[in-house]
Amino acid sequence: MTADDVRASAAALAVRALELPELARARTVAAYVSVGSEPGTLALLDALRARGVRVLLPALLPDNDLDWGAYAGEGSLTRVRHGGRMALLEPAGERLGPDAVTRADVVLLPGLAADARGTRLGRGGGSYDRVLDRLARARAHPALVVLLYDSEVVERLPREPHDRPVHAVVTPSGAHRLREP
C-alpha cells in the first residue's frame, strides 16, 4: 500500500468504527497506537477524544503485560524501544496500572486476522491475551473490537482454549458484528 492508501484506509477505518453503537455510547475506550503495517489508529483516537471519550493507551511492561495511560493527543505520545523489538508510541503521562483496562466500555484490539466466529489472531506476544484474561477475572464485559484491513478477515482460524472471541471486526469497508457483547 502507498502512503496515500494507508492514510485513506485509516480515515475510512475511523469512520466505520465510529458507526458502531458501542463506540457511540462509550465513555472510556482502551485502544492502541498502530505500528508498522497495521491499520492506522490515530484518526480514530483523535475522533474519540473530540467526542469527549476517555482514551486509554497501553505501555508495554518488561513481562509483556500492559500498563495504561490516558491519551491527550498525538503530542502526548513518546516513542519507546523495547529491547530488540520495534519502537512503540506510548502515553507519556501517568501510568494507571494494568487493571485500568477493566473500566473500559470498549477495548480495541490489534490483530493479524480474524474469522466469522470472532477468533482473533494476534502477533504472538501474549499481551492482549493477558488483557482479555484480566477482563474475565474482573468480570468486566467491554465490547471487544479488532481493527483490520479487509483482506485480514478470513473464513476460519484455529482457536486455542485460551482464545477469547471478539464481538466485532472493523475494516475500512465496514463493521462486521460477530456476536453481541
Q: pLDDT by residue (tens digit) across 37-74?
A: 889 999 999 999 999 999 999 999 999 999 999 999 98
Per-residue model confidence (pLDDT) at position 163: 83
Per-residue model confidence (pLDDT) at position 145: 97
The answer to whether 120 is annotated as binding is yes
Determine which helix (DSSP H) or strand (DSSP E) holds 22, and give its type and residue range.
helix 21-25
Per-residue model confidence (pLDDT) at position 126: 87
The answer to whether 36 is annotated as binding is no
Per-residue model confidence (pLDDT) at position 180: 62
CB 178 within 8 A of CB 169: yes
Q: Mean pLDDT check: name the lowest of 2-11, 19-28, 49-58.
A: 2-11
What is the per-residue burial (b if ≥16 Cβ within 10 Å, else e) of 55-92? bbbbbbeeeeebbbbbbeeeeebeeeeeeeeeebbbbe
- Between CA 91 and CA 97 the distance in angstroms is 13
Query: Which grid coordinates are listed for 148?
Result: 483490520
Domain architecture of the chain: domains with CATH:
3-177 (3.40.50.10420)
The answer to whether 123 is annotated as binding is yes
The answer to whether 121 is annotated as binding is yes
Q: Supply angle C-alpha 45, 47, 50, rounded to 5.
A: 110
DSSP per-residue codes, 37-61: TSPP-HHHHHHHHHTT-EEEEEEE-
Interhelix angle 3-18/42-50, nearest 10 degrees: 40
Query: Which grid coordinates are listed for 94?
Result: 501517568
The answer to whether 38 is annotated as binding is yes
Count CB neighbours of 153 within 10 A: 19
The answer to whether 179 is annotated as binding is no
Per-residue model confidence (pLDDT) at position 87: 83
The answer to whether 126 is annotated as binding is yes
Per-residue model confidence (pLDDT) at position 90: 96
Per-residue model confidence (pLDDT) at position 37: 83
CB 149 within 8 A of CB 156: no
The answer to whether 127 is annotated as binding is yes
Residues 133-165 pLDDT 10s: 999 999 999 999 999 999 999 999 998 888 889
Pick the residue with more confidence: 37 or 15? 15
CB 29 within 8 A of CB 45: no
Residues 72-130 pLDDT 10s: 998 999 999 887 667 899 999 999 999 999 999 999 999 999 998 999 998 878 899 99
The answer to whether 93 is annotated as binding is no
